[in-house]
């Protein structure tokens, strides 16, 4: 990445595209959203590189996974993203059940071309962790160990 120094509001800021760092502690931002606070610029750069690597599909995964499917339900105008034929919500619940946290789940969704708000993703992961919520909010997707491996999830 190409990092440059700029002066914003009388403070020196380290900037690479949408990743500014300010005020002694380094802030990592992406499209205006805070992605983390770090003690030095090297740690911020390393985390930025990690985030970008997580979003790139591996050549093996890219070749084996079909493009994300968006199906219309009952002729209505709602479009529901699918992963492995299951709704993205059911897949998020399955990821929550195996202990995945928001950053990893967000990276998985972005690799499949799906954007969802952080609050929504976090709630769905929580529903997957709590079995008593399944009857009211839906069952997690019954993903096989091979499908979890394709998503990049280490599981038991």
pLDDT (tens digit per residue) in 53-106 = 766 665 555 555 556 555 554 554 457 788 888 888 999 999 998 888 898 899
Residue 18's pLDDT band (cuts 50, 70, 90): very low
Between 74 and 135, residue with greater pLDDT: 135
Spatial distance between the Cα atoms of 143 and 138, rounded to a whole number of angstroms: 15
**Residue 51 placed within a domain:** no
* SS3 of residue 9 by DSSP: coil
> Which pLDDT score is estimated for 77?
44
Name every residue whose Cβ is closer than 8 Å to that of residue 152 and which is 6 or more positions away in sequence: 61, 104, 108, 111
Does residue 147 belong to any structural domain of this protein?
yes
In terms of residue numbers, what domain contains 133?
A: 82-151
Assigned domain for 61 exists? no
Question: Who wins on pLDDT, 153 or 31?
Answer: 153
Q: Structurally, how many domains does the chain consist of?
A: 1
In this predicted model, which residue has the larger pLDDT, 4 or 86?
Answer: 86
In a domain, 39, yes or no: no
pLDDT, tens digit, 9 for 90 and up, residues 109-132: 888 888 889 999 999 999 998 888
DSSP bridge partners of 11: 8
Q: Give the lowest-confidence range in 21-30, 32-41, 94-103.
A: 21-30
Query: Which pairing describes strands 33-38 and 11-15: parallel, antiparallel, or unpaired?
Result: unpaired
**Domain assignment present for 144:** yes
Bridge partners for 13 per DSSP: 6
The residue-averaged pLDDT of 25-45 equals 70
56 within domain boundaries: no
Output the average pLDDT for the chain: 75
Ranges 32-41, 54-63, 128-137, most confident: 128-137
Torsion of CA 36, 37, 42, 43, to 10 degrees: -60
Is residue 136 situated within a structural domain? yes
The highest-confidence range among 3-7, 35-39, 71-75, by mean pLDDT, is: 35-39
Residue 116 falls inside a structural domain: yes
């Amino acid at each position: 990445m190409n990092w440059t120094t700029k002066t914003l509001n009388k403070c020196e800021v380290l900037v690479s595209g949408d990743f500014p760092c300010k005020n002694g502690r380094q802030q990592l931002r992406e499209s205006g959203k805070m992605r983390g606070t770090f003690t030095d610029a090297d740690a911020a750069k390393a985390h930025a590189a990690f985030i970008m690597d997580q979003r790139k599909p591996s050549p093996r995964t890219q070749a084996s996974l079909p493009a994300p499917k968006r199906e219309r339900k009952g002729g209505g105008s709602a479009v529901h993203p699918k992963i492995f034929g299951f709704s993205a919500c059911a897949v998020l619940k399955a990821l929550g059940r195996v202990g995945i946290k928001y950053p990893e789940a967000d990276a998985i969704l972005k690799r499949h071309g799906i954007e969802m708000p952080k609050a929504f993703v976090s709630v769905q992961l929580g529903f997957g962790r709590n079995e008593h919520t399944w009857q009211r909010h839906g069952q997690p997707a019954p993903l096989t160990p091979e499908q979890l491996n394709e998503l990049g999830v280490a599981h038991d």
